[in-house]
Structure 1
Amino acid sequence: MNLVPVLVTGLFAGGISCAAVQGGLLTGVITRQRAAVSAPRGLSRLGSDLAPVGGFLAGKLLSHTILGALLGVLGGVFALSIGLRTWLQIGAGVLIIVFGLAQLGVPGFRGIVIEPPASWLRTVRTGARLRTALAPGILGIATVLLPCGVTLSVAALALATGSPVEGAAIMAVFVLGTGPMFAVLGYAARLAATAWRGRLAMATGLVVVGMGLYTLNGGLELAGSPLSAGRIAAALGAGTPPADASASTMADGVQTVTVTARTGAYLPANIEARSGVPTTLVVETDRTQGCVRSLVVPSLNVQKILPTSGRVRIDLGVLAPGHLDYTCGMGMYSGRITII
C-alpha cells in the first residue's frame, strides 16, 4: 500500500481544510490555557506554546486510527465487491478534486463547505472550554466527530481496503500529514500571526486537485477504464514495457504465467502469453507488504488476498488474443498479460 499520496493529501489538503473546521477550537483552548498561567520565557515558552498542539494531535491520531481500523473491518466483513470498491475509490477522488477546486476559488465550487451537525459542534465546544492539561488531547479525540471534507474522502479509502491494519494505517498517516499545519496554527495562535495561510491557497489547491486526480485514476484503473492514465499511455505506445515471454511456460497442455508481487510492484510488468490454451496465473510473494497483496483482475471479476509469503494459483481459463490487465486493490499498481 502506497501511503505517500495519503501523507501528501494530509499535509496539504487535510492540513488546510481540517484547520478550517477544527482550527478555531484548537486556538481557543490554547488561548484559554495561556490566559490561565503566566507566560514563561525562552525555550520554556516555546515548549509551553507547542505542548497543547502535541496533545491535540495525539488525541486526533488515536481516535482516527481507531476509526480507520473500524472502517477496514467493516469493509472486510461486507467483502466489498470490485464494483463497490471501484466506485468508492472514484468517489473519493472526485470529492478531493471538488474540495481542491473550492480551495482555488473556482466559480461554482468556492461555496462548497462540509460542516458537521450543530449539535456536534456544541458538544466539542463545551470540551474546548476546559482548562485542564488534558483539554487539548480530549479535543483532539473529539475531532473524529468533526470531519472535514478531505477526511471523509480518506475515510472512504480506508473503508475500501477491507483491512483493519491498512485502514488504520491510512487514517494514521493522514493525521500525521495534518500535523505541521496544526503545529503552525497552534503556535500562530500564541503569536497572532495566521494571515500567511491565505497565501498558500493557490499552491495547496493545486496539490489537492493533483492528489484527487491520482486517487481518481486508481479507481479508473480498477474499473478497467480506457480513461485511466496507464491505458492512455499504453494506447500511445508509452508507459508499458515490452512483453516478457520468459515468465510463461507450457506443460501438459496447460500454460502457466508467473508473476512476482513485490512491495510496490508486479514483476514482470508485462508478460507475453499464448492464446487458445488453458492458462493458470501463479502469483508469488516473499515478505510482500501493502496494496499489492490485494490482487484484482477486473475483467474476470477476480479478487484475491495474497499471503505475505507463498504462491496463489488463479485459473484464467482459455485466453483470447488481446490484453488482460490486473491491479492492486487500490488501483495504484498494475500489470498486464499480452496475449498473442
Structure 2
Amino acid sequence: MRERGGLSVEAVTLFVGGAAAGLVAGTASCTAAQGGLLVGLVGHRPGRDPALVAWFLAGRLAAYTLVGALLGLLGSAVGLPPRARAVLLVAAGCAVIVFAIRLMRGGRHACAEPVRPSGYKAPLLGAATVLVPCGVTIGMEMLAVSSGSPLSGAAAMAGFVVGTAPAFALLGYVLRRISRTRLARFAGVVAVAAGLWTVVAGLNLGGWTGEAAPAAAGPAARTVTVYATREGYRPAAVSVPANVPVQVIFKLVDPGCTGTVTIDGRDVVLPATVRLPPHRPGSLRYVCGMGMYSGFIRFS
C-alpha cells in the first residue's frame, strides 16, 4: 500500500532492508570489487582533503539511486546481461592495476606537495561503481526490478549504498594515510593483486577461462540440490541424466556473493529452483554473480 503525499511504506521498508543488506552482506564484496576506483581517486593524487571520499560516496549514491528508479520503472529491460558485466569486470580490473601502479609510483614522492584533484573526478568515479556490481548488488537490483515502482527501486538501491558507506569511508581514510607514506608501494602491490583477481573473475563470469569440468560427484538424478556457502557451491559438481528435464534446487547457506548465481545465461537470486531443459551429454558451468565461485552440472 502506498501513502499519498509522502513516502510509501514499501519504499521505507526497502530502504531499511537495503541498508541492512549493504552493512551486513555487501561491505566485503563491494569494497573488494569497487574499491579499486577509490584507489584511483586517492592514490593517483594524494590530496589531504577528506571531502574527496564524501564526493565519491555522493556520486555513488546518486548513480545507484537513479539506476534503482530506472529498474523499478522499466524492469529487467535496463539490466546488464552476464556477458556485459563480465566485460566491465575485466575493464575495471585493468583500471585497478593502472591505478595501483600510479599509487606505487606516488609513494616515492611522499613528501611532495599534494595536488588537489579535479572537482568532478571524485563524484564521477563514485558513480562509475554502478558499472562494476558486486554479487549482493545484483540481488538488490533484482529486488528493485520486482518492486515495480521507481520510488521503491530507488529506495532499495539508496539504502544499499548507505549501508556500504562506512566501509568505503574507512577504505578512503586508510588510502589517504598510506598514499603519503612508504607503505604506498605495499598497498599498490595488494591493489595489483586485487585488480588481477577482478580480471579473472570477469573472465570466469563470461565463461572465457576455458576451465575443464572436474569429475562429477554423486549419483545421477533428475533433481539435485546445491548449497551456496561462503566458500562456494557444494557439491561443486553434480551428475544428472542427459536428454531429460532437470531441476536444480539452490539453497542459500551463507549470505554473500554466492547468493546470486548466473546459470544458463540468466541471473537467479537464491534460494531458488532452476529448471533446465534437456541437455546433450556434456557439462554446464554456472558462476556466482561476481564470477568468483563456479560449479558444474554434468549431463551423462
Q: CA deviation at 1:327?
A: 0.7
Contact 1:15 1:177 in 2 (8 A): no
Residue 179 of structure 1 is aligned with which of 166, 170, 185? 170
Aligned match of 1:331: 291
Residue 224 of structure 1 is aligned with which of 207, 218, 237? 207
Q: Unaligned regions of 5+ residues in structure 2, if any?
A: 1-24, 107-115, 142-155
- Please provide the CA RMSD for this pair: 4.1
Q: CA deviation at 1:82?
A: 2.1
1:117-266 alignment runs, 5 A limit: 120=119, 146-147=122-123, 151=126, 154-158=129-133, 161-162=137-138, 163-164=140-141, 169=160, 173=164, 176-179=167-170, 182=173, 197-226=180-209, 231=211, 242-246=215-219, 248-249=220-221, 255-262=222-229, 265-266=232-233
Q: CA deviation at 1:329?
A: 1.6
Aligned match of 2:261: 295
Q: CA deviation at 1:302?
A: 3.1
Whole-angstrom distance in 1 between the partners of 2:123 and 2:248: 42
Q: CA deviation at 1:96?
A: 1.1
Aligned match of 1:50: none
Whole-angstrom distance in 2 between the partners of 1:171 and 1:97: 27
TM-score, with normalisation over the residues of structure 2? 0.63
Q: CA deviation at 1:221?
A: 0.9
Deviations 1:158-184 (A, max 9, x none): 388443557865785476245265379
Quickly say closer, same or farther: Cα 1:65–1:285, change in 2 above 3 A: farther
Whole-angstrom distance in 2 between the partners of 1:166 and 1:176: 16
Whole-angstrom distance in 1 between the partners of 2:197 and 2:175: 27
Q: CA deviation at 1:104?
A: 3.5
Residue 226 of structure 2: SS of its match in structure 1?
strand
Contact 1:71 1:167 in 2 (8 A): no
Quickly say closer, same or farther: Cα 1:285–1:159, change in 2 above 3 A: closer
Deviations 1:201-242 (A, max 9, x none): 321111111111111111111111126xxx2xx58xxxx5x5
Whole-angstrom distance in 1 between the partners of 2:178 and 2:188: 17
Residue 191 of structure 2: SS of its match in structure 1?
helix
Whole-angstrom distance in 1 between the partners of 2:248 and 2:279: 15
User: In the alignment, residue 243 of structure 1 is paired with which amino acid?
Assistant: A
Residue 270 of structure 1 is aligned with which of 237, 245, 253? 237
Residue 326 of structure 1: SS of its match in structure 2?
strand
User: In the alignment, residue 295 of structure 1 is paired with which amino acid?
Assistant: V
Whole-angstrom distance in 1 between the partners of 2:158 and 2:216: 35
Q: CA deviation at 1:288?
A: 5.4
Contact 1:93 1:153 in 2 (8 A): no
Contact 2:245 2:278 in 1 (8 A): yes
Quickly say closer, same or farther: Cα 1:286–1:205, change in 2 above 3 A: closer
Q: CA deviation at 1:90?
A: 1.8
Contact 2:27 2:167 in 1 (8 A): no
Contact 2:42 2:172 in 1 (8 A): no
Residue 312 of structure 1 is aligned with which of 258, 261, 273? 273
Whole-angstrom distance in 2 between the partners of 1:61 and 1:219: 24
Quickly say closer, same or farther: Cα 1:84–1:58, change in 2 above 3 A: closer
TM-score, with normalisation over the residues of structure 1? 0.57
Aligned match of 2:79: 79
Whole-angstrom distance in 2 between the partners of 1:221 and 1:167: 29
Q: Unaligned regions of 5+ residues in structure 1, if any?
A: 28-55, 107-114, 122-144, 186-193, 250-254
Residue 197 of structure 1: SS of its match in structure 2?
coil
Whole-angstrom distance in 2 between the partners of 1:148 and 1:21: 15
User: In the alignment, residue 87 of structure 1 is paired with which amino acid?
Assistant: V
Matched residues, number: 247
Q: CA deviation at 1:22?
A: 7.6
Whole-angstrom distance in 1 between the partners of 2:62 and 2:124: 17
Whole-angstrom distance in 2 between the partners of 1:208 and 1:154: 16
Aligned match of 1:46: none
